Structure 1
Amino acid sequence: MPGPQEGGAGGRCIAIVGPYLSGKTSLLEAILERCGAIPRAGRVGDRNMVGDASQEAREHGMSVEANVATVEFLGDRYTFIDCPGSVEFLNEARAVLPAVDAAIVVAEADEKKAPALQLILKELEDLGVPRLVFLNKIDKADAALREVLEWLQPASAAPLVLRQLPIWEKGIVTGFVDLALQRAFVYREHAPSEVIEFSDETSELTSEARFTMLERLADYDDELMEQLLGDVEPPRDQVFDGLATDFREGLIVPLFLGAAERANGVLRLLKALRHEAPGIRETRARLGSAETGGAAAQVVKTFHTSHGGKLSVVRVLEGEIADGAIVRTEDGRDERVSGVFDLQGQEPRKRGPAMAGETVGLGRLESVRTGDTLGVGCVPLQLLSLAPPQPVLWRSLSVADRKDEVKLTAALAKLVDEDPSLVLNHDQASGELQLGGQGEMHVRVALERLARKFGLTVEVQLPRPGYRETIRKAVKHRARHKKQTGGHGQFADVVVEIAPLARGAGFTFGERITGGAVPKQYIPSVEAGIRDHLSCGPLGFPVVDLSATLLDGSYHPVDSSDMAFRAAGRLAAAEALAEAAPVLLEPVMAVEVVVPSDCTSRVTAMVAQRRGQILGFDARPGWPGWDVVRARIPEAEMRDLIVELRSASAGVGSYTACFDHLAELSGKLAEQVIETRRAQAAA
């Protein structure tokens, strides 16, 4: 077996990814235990794991953020980053994955989770990250391995190459055969596996499985192909070199077996990483990071700790970063490092300088964001462009005490800094502070964190849809504002024509004054007064798509003023709009839903139930077995769409939406909306 792959003095960084509840955090615990970093592996049910360290993760029994842990294995340093598996927290991995050397994809022998596995593998494929699959819970598998491979292979663009063959006794997996080493092992719980002799049956199955593995390698190696055609057994070192090269280049996805809760298969997995995974040099080349002669690092995660302030988790790509170093972002922002830390879960431990390959925390880089590239002694190239995903669920937030509003905004800004897939929006029309996220659990966890870290409990409501109103007929109206208060009074008289415009035209103002009936200096005040009233029309909503024309009027040389004509304009608009057959408009969204193809019919039914219109559907480009459904759906019908969509698609469906047009809403639905609005205004 060849020696370890050169990875750089600072060690490797490996992501642990996989579908929800596949056992990623249990695998991290088993790795930490096997490497001596912890005395005993924790369990999800016991809430004592290094990975799921936050209170929110432990209460929900699931990973809700990336967790970092560093170990030593056979003299080499490894940092493992355990990433959440739920699609709602997938953005946590998007900043991590480009900077890692390789990824362990934890999977199960469960056909229903194949679409979720495909989501993760596609992300890795697009980034060019070498990946291997750890088929977890093999001790509980009740399907033949051949059948499991048939389920899993469509999720991967590269061929899955079986590296191990399970040994079964009385329907239970008791060990495995390493197809590259040609050795059989029996599992020992929380201990290294032991070598055993081949049985006759195992020997025959091994020969067949090994030949299949070599055939896959021969697709990329002409010499090996000639050896197989000539029935020549290739040297073991040649086989390992082929496995390592093809894995690092992403040509194959090796598949290993194990049971993380029992620590079965963990040692063999670690040895494969040690000998076959690439290191920082290859990762730097994949990222396109040119050598600068200084130091460079990639920010993969941001924490706001209770006592130590902001902590930026970085992968050092080149050079050395020490406490007190001045780091510069790609857009020229400078910050001084206040402490360099190793991380074990969320526990920072101060340490000395970090060198190329290491993954560490850098203290108090206040303006630095997740995804930034940092340089010391140079301005680094931008390596990542992390556009946050569009929110699929919104909630309106408010505090009981108005003095807490500033505190709320500051706290939410820190949450968004930690998790860029959260989005804050101040809706100007409704005055609501809205928080958008990637699903119901994502937003719930954010609010729980808000209460725990910042002591802020908020009232949560569904956001108000962006209803508008317009008019159906033209109206000419005279309005007079007259007020006598002693001394100078107030006087303005205007004749205004209000008329409907085409949908989407907005508001226009004009004047056809003759003979100086209204002096020119007062005409802008009339327009301002009309605009004032358009913010809340007779139905209670902003008014759109109409024109206002000032036709006539009169003034007083002493009592007329800008203020008086503004009041007259406002009065004219209020009285004219009420006579102009106002009608309610609701926003309609253009929606693209992406789901596995077997869910498409359920999506079309959902759209119909929500007063939507199907525009068509096609195969999703680059995603075998997935469809894109295009539709138009009223905004009011979309507020819990993601919940139903995820339920119908094993948790993997999603959508993007943008405003398309305003459509008239009438009948009982319109009456209900108007009645609700009036009740809110009266409260």
Structure 2
Amino acid sequence: MGQDLRSPRGPRCIALVGPFQSGKTTLLEAILARTGAIPRAGSVDAGTSVGDASPEARHHKMSVAMTAATTTFMGDSYTFLDCPGSIEFIHDMRAALPAVDAAIVVCEADEKKLPQLQLILRELEELRIPRFLFLNKIDRANARVRETLATLQPASRVPLVLRQIPIWNGELIEGFVDLALERAFIYREHRASEVIGLEGGNLDREKEARFSMLEKLADHDDALMEQLLEDIPPPRDAVFDDLARELRDGLICPVLLGSALRENGVLRLMKALRHEAPGIAETAKRLGVKEAKEALGYVFKTLHLQHGGKLSLTRVLSGHLDDGATVHAASGETARVSGILAATGANDSKRPVAEAGDTVALGKLDTVKTGDTVATGKAVPKALAKVDPCPPVLAISIAALDRKDDVKLGQALLRLNEEDPSLTMVQNQRTHDTVLWGQGEMHLRVALERLRERFGVNVKSHTPAIGYQETIRKAITQRGRHKKQSGGHGQFGDVVLDIKPLPRGEGFQFAEKVVGGAVPRNYIPAVEEGVVDALVRGPLGFPVIDVAVTLTDGSYHSVDSSDLAFRTAARAGVSEGLPQCAPVLLEPIHTVEIVCPTEATARINAILSARRGQILSFDTRDGWPGWDCVRAMMPEAEIGELIVELRSATAGAGSFTRQFDHMAEVTGRAADHIIASHRDAA
């Protein structure tokens, strides 16, 4: 069994994931530096890192998109995917995870980041991705590692198994003991750790911690359990085999220690990946890929370069992919590969072919999208994964600063959406605004920066219009006349209209009860059109709904009457009649469902109440220990900036979904303020 589990596994793809600002990009720099891919580690703060190479990432000093970088270690090839930690950019991680062999979850001893850690671990657990936890910034630790692990354990549904214990020098950690290898190491900044003798107190602590690790492994290994009960030291190879098997099967999450900034613990992490992380064969099996000669790949990221065209970052899961090959996508589209590039961070080098396990960028797959499965066979492949974007939570209305850039803006938005499907565009039919929806304030800000910097489109933005409407409370009868004489044929139309309110949600109804041919039947459709014209903007300034209009009488002229004349008369009649019908303002009310850590629920309830929310219920979130679900009714006008307060109250982990429910009356000073603001804006 040992030989099989530790045999060569081909090029591997590893995701670096973890809460915001946990040190993922810094760890990537340390890995690339220690494996010789770059001369020395860059810095996020200085803007010299391989990851976060985009202008937006460097400006904000945070990951705003996934970065891929390839290196070699002890003869094996590794591609690391540095995924953003902010929940606003989490879609990049979710799209990439199906194709990776394993994930390194980078975190620190910070209880405030526990909800974010739980979100990430849950994604990995659902997809059955093997995962290591790298406890970063260990040089700043002020708590015992076991205490930290006890704090972090509720975020994971499988045991966090400590692989290393720290060596303390007073209040500082100066090295570690590897419990599987049974060796002690002293950290050397930016250099390989130094092996020291395992003795004294460190030896006693190692024996206790190693036994605890073996106990957890023995929960899934009867032979190891018997050896522990009989005080028989298990063979070291068997321990490594158990670690590899239980990691692969998702039974444990091994925990390693280190400091990415000082490059401490990086080589031990790489060796754990080399010996214990599964390879492409296991990943293909997990995804249900059958061995075949045809190349099969999964596209996990789309990029549009200013001068290089479209690139599709792809993990080749089986077969042999040549440059120039024609591929079929699971969506039914067909495309031809025009260039295969090796992913090496900010720079990409061309290569003639990609083999199973390789992570590459494929050029000019214009019809292929993020999440597509592609294959070179004759048959259309089955989709290997389905990644639905998170529901949008914040919107802005945008328009090109220069009207001649309208077409350019439309094209840029389509490309942005290809790169990041969690951005969505909606055309507001009433205001004719383009509304850009995203995952939060920073997400939308970065999108506007990309439009300007990469696509050369300057835009102006404002808060989207709220879907206010109006209705009436009183019924009246109103005459509408249109008479105009200016030489030759004139214009004449005369109608009598009954205008009355309808129950909420009934919309608009038109009927006619004309007798004696007072209004010829061929003009009645024009009358209805005129009524509809008038309801577009009522006396309060908003569309009118839940109104019934009945044509009861009128008159016509055999020469001067026309469709236009009757349409104009009907519009005039309704416009003159509505102010007499006791118009009332209506605002849209949505059902909002918020998920948040339990300790934040009281704050969320207070936020909802302050925003005119009516709390309907709150309960524990099903299957999520330590989380609650709060349901409420809220006016659309109060939801706009809700996500900003929600994220602030939940350390960036909370989110919500919403759905329109009904229209409700707004009266008094609130209605006066809305109507006045609308008139000023108009």
TM-score (norm: length of structure 1): 0.98
Aligned counterparts of 1:6 and 1:236: Cα–Cα separation in 2: 13
Matches within 5 A, 1:89-108: 89-108=89-108
2:464 counterpart of 1:463: yes
Name the amino acid aligned to 1:11.
P
Asked if 1:73 is matched to 2:73, the reply is yes
Q: Could you tell me which amino acid in structure 2 is paired with residue 92 of structure 1?
A: D
What residue identity is the alignment partner of 2:651? A
Q: Which residue of 2 aligns with 1:180?
A: 180
In structure 1, how many angstroms separate the alpha carbons of the residues matched to 2:9 and 2:111?
41
- 2:261 counterpart SS class: helix
CA distance in 1, matches of 2:594, 2:520: 56
| SS of alignment partner, residue 530 of structure 1 | helix
What is the 5 A alignment of 1:199-598? 199-377=199-377, 378-598=379-599
- Asked if the contact 2:70/2:345 (under 8 Å) is kept, the reply is no
The gaps in structure 2 that reach 5 residues or longer are: none
How far apart in 2 are the matches of 1:3 and 1:104?
Answer: 24
> 1:194-229 deviations in whole A, cap 9, x for unaligned?
211113101111111111111111111111111111
TM-superposed deviation, 1:384: 2.0
Q: CA deviation at 1:127?
A: 0.8
The farther-off stretch of 251-260 and 433-442 is: 433-442
RMSD of aligned residue pairs (Cα, Å) = 1.4
2:109 corresponds to which residue? 109
CA-CA distance at 1:9 after TM superposition: 6.3
- Letter of the aligned partner of 1:243 in structure 2? L
Report the counterpart of residue 137 of structure 2 in structure 1.
137
Aligned twin of 2:623: 622
CA offsets per residue over residues 137-189 of structure 1, 9 Å max, x none?
10110011111011100000010000001001121111111101111111111
Structure 1 residues 588 and 136, CA gap change in structure 2 (3 angstroms): same
Whether the aligned pair in 2 keeps the contact of 1:4 and 1:275 (CA below 8 Å) is no
CA distance in 2, matches of 1:555, 1:290: 78
Asked if residue 670 in structure 1 is aligned to residue 638 in structure 2, the reply is no
Counterpart AA for 2:223 = E
AA partner of residue 284 (structure 1): A
8 Å contact from structure 1 (residues 4, 274) kept in 2: no
CA distance in 1, matches of 2:70, 2:656: 36
Per-residue deviation, 1:663: 0.6
Alpha-carbon shift at residue 5 of structure 1 (Å): 4.5
Quote how far apart the aligned CAs of 1:292 are: 4.8
Give the fraction of aligned pairs with identical amino acids, expressed as a percent.
59
Q: Does the C-alpha gap of structure 1 residues 560 and 431 become closer, same or farther in structure 2, counting only changes over 3 Å? A: same
Letter in 2 for 1:594: V
Could you say what secondary structure the match of 1:261 adopts?
A: coil
The gaps in structure 1 that reach 5 residues or longer are: none
Q: Which moved more, 1:670-679 or 1:291-300?
A: 291-300
Paired with 1:518 and 1:668, the residues of 2 have a C-alpha distance of 43
Q: Which amino acid aligns with 1:526?
A: V
> Using the alignment, how far apart are the partners of 1:617 and 1:300 within structure 2?
36
SS in 2 for 1:106: strand
Distance in 1 between the 2:476 and 2:211 partners?
Answer: 85
Q: 1:140 to 1:214 in 2, by over 3 A?
A: same
Q: Which moved more, 1:33-42 or 1:560-569?
A: 560-569
Per the alignment, residue 602 of structure 1 pairs with 603
- Runs of 4+ in structure 1 off by over 4 angstroms are 1-10
- 8 Å Cα contact 1:139-1:172 kept in structure 2: yes
SS at match of 1:262: coil
Shift of 1:364: 1.1
Q: C-alpha deviations, 1:480-533, integer Å up to 9, x for none?
A: 111223222221111111111111111111111222222222111111111112
552-561 vs 67-76, greater mean Cα deviation: 552-561
The answer to whether the 8 A contact 2:306-2:455 is kept is no
In the alignment, the residues of structure 2 paired with residue 331 and residue 89 of structure 1 have an alpha-carbon distance, to the nearest angstrom, of 25
1:544 Cα deviation after fit: 0.9
> Greater CA deviation, 520-529 or 79-88?
520-529
Q: Distance in 2 between matches of 1:577 and 1:390?
A: 39
Tell me which amino acid in the other structure corresponds to 1:542: P
SS at match of 2:538: coil
What corresponds to 1:642 in structure 2? 643
What's the secondary structure of 2:129's corresponding residue?
coil
Measured after TM superposition, the shift of residue 290 of structure 1 is 3.5
- Indicate if the aligned counterparts of 2:9 and 2:279 stay in contact, CA closer than 8 A: no
Please name the residue that 1:23 is paired with.
23
Query: Does the CA-based 8 Å contact 2:5-2:241 persist in structure 1?
Result: no
- Measured after TM superposition, the shift of residue 6 of structure 1 is 6.3
CA distance in 1 between counterparts of 2:6 and 2:339 reads 29
- Aligned partners of 1:132 and 1:253 also within 8 Å: yes
